[in-house]
Chains A and B, each alone.
Chain A
Amino acid sequence: MSSDVVEKSSKSVDTFDSAWLQDCLPIYYRKYFPFGPFFRWLNYGGIKGSGFNKREFSFTLIGDIYIRFQSFKDGPSLEKEIIAKSPIKIDIGALYTHDPRNRHTIHPAASFRPVQRELVFDIDMTDYDEVRYCCQGAQVCENCWILMDIAVKIIQKALADDFGYEHILWVFSGRRGIHAWVCDESARTLTASQRSAVAEYLVLLKGGTDVGRRVNLNDNRIHSSVRRAINIIDEHFFKYLSKHDIFGNEERVQKFLKLIPDIIRDEVEKSIADLETAKDKWRAFQATVKTFCRKNSQKSWQISMLAEEIQLHFCYPRIDIAVSKGLNHLLKAPFCVHPKTGKICVPFTADNMIDPNNVPTLNSLIEELDNVPASKKPYRHSSMKDSINVFDEFLKKLERSRTGRDMENLSLDDW
Chain B
Amino acid sequence: MQFDSGKSRRSKIFRKNFRYSSILQLYEEPPTEKVSLSEFEEYAIDRIKLLKIVENVGLKHVKGSEEYCMAIKKEMANGKLEGLPLRLKDHSIEANLEKVMKKDHVSHFILRLAFCRTEDLRRWFLAQELDLFKLRWSLMTADAQKAFMLENRMHYNPISDSEKSEKLTELTASTFRPSIHKSNTTLALNTDFYKVPFTEAIELVRTRKVYIEKGQAYIPSNEVIVLIQNYFRMKISAALVLTTKTLSLMEEDDRLGPILDACAKRHIGIEYVTRKNIKDGEVTPEMLDQLSKESFPPCMQQLHHNLKTNHHLKHNGRMQYGLFLKGIGLSMNDAIRFWKTEFCKQMDGDKWDKQYLYNIRHNYGHEGKRANYTPYSCSKICSMTPGPGESNGCPFRHTDASVLRQRLQGMSLNREGIDTIVEFSKKGHPQLACGKYFDMVHNQDIGFTPNHPNHYFDESRNVLNPKVVEGQKERPVVKPKLVPTTSKQPLNVKKELENSSFDEDLMTMDME
Contact = CB atoms under 8 A, between A and B. Distances in A.
Interface of A: 64, 108, 110-111, 126-127, 129-130, 161-165, 186, 190-191, 193-194, 196-198, 200-201, 203, 205-214, 216, 219-227, 261, 301, 318-322
Given A108-B248, A203-B387, A224-B174, A208 B198 contact: no
Closest 3 CB pairs of A and B: A207-B386, A164-B215, A197-B202
Given A208-B391, A224-B174, A321 B385 contact: yes
Contacts of B399: 206, 208, 211
Q: Is the interface of B mostly helix, strand, loop or mixed?
A: helix
B178 interface: yes
A162 B215 CA distance: 6
9 contacts: A162-B215, A164-B216, A194-B199, A201-B205, A209-B306, A221-B174, A224-B169, A225-B212, A318-B387
B398 A207 contact: yes
Q: Which of B306, B386, B387 has the largest number of chain A CB atoms within 10 A?
A: B387
A211 B178 contact: no
B126 to A, nearest CB: 11
Given A110-B244, A221-B174, A198 B205 contact: yes
B245 A206 contact: no
Contacts of B216: 164
A209 B389 contact: yes
B198 A213 contact: no
Interface residues on B, range: 35 or more
Contacts of B169: 224
Contacts of B393: 207-208
B402 A212 contact: yes
Given A64-B354, A213-B400, A322-B315, A201 B208 contact: yes
B391 A209 contact: yes
Nearest to B387: A207
B206 interface: yes
A111 B245 contact: yes
Contact of A216 (B198, B387, B400): B400
Given A163-B198, A208-B386, A210-B403, A201 B391 contact: no
B177 A221 contact: yes
B138 interface: no
Given A126-B389, A207-B389, 17 more contacts: A164-B214, A197-B202, A203-B385, A207-B388, A208-B390, A208-B393, A208-B399, A208-B403, A209-B391, A213-B402, A216-B401, A221-B177, A224-B173, A224-B174, A225-B212, A320-B387, A322-B316
B233 to A, nearest CB: 9
Interface in B212-235: 212-216
A226 B174 CA distance: 9
A127 B389 contact: yes
A220 B390 contact: no
A335 B385 CA distance: 31
Interface string B140-179: 0000000000000000000000000000011001111110
Nearest to A215: B400
A156 B386 CA distance: 23
Contacts of A222: 173, 178
B183 interface: no
A197 B203 contact: yes
Given A206-B399, A208-B386, A208-B390, A163 B203 contact: no
A224 B211 contact: yes
A201 B201 CA distance: 12
Contacts of A163: 198, 212, 214-215
Contact of A206 (B173, B213, B306, B400): B400
Interface string B401-427: 111001000000000000000000010
B487 interface: no
Pick the most buried of A203, A223, A321: most chain B CB atoms within 10 A of its CB.
A223
B310 interface: yes
Contacts of B203: 197
A193 B198 CA distance: 12
B178 A221 contact: yes
Contacts of B398: 206-208
B176 A209 contact: no
A208 B388 CA distance: 6
A129 B175 CA distance: 34
Given A209-B389, A209-B391, A226 B208 contact: yes
B215 to A, nearest CB: 4
B390 A211 contact: no
Contact of A223 (B174, B215, B390): B174
Contacts of A127: 387-389
A207 B248 contact: no
A161 B400 contact: no
Contacts of A165: 215
Nearest to A64: B354
A175 to B, nearest CB: 17
Contacts of A194: 199, 202
Given A207-B393, A319-B387, A197 B205 contact: yes
Q: Which of A162, A196, A197, A209 counts the most B-chain CB atoms under 10 A from its CB? A: A209
A186 B215 contact: yes
Contacts of B388: 127, 130, 205, 207, 214, 318
Given A163-B215, A203-B385, A205-B388, A211 B400 contact: yes
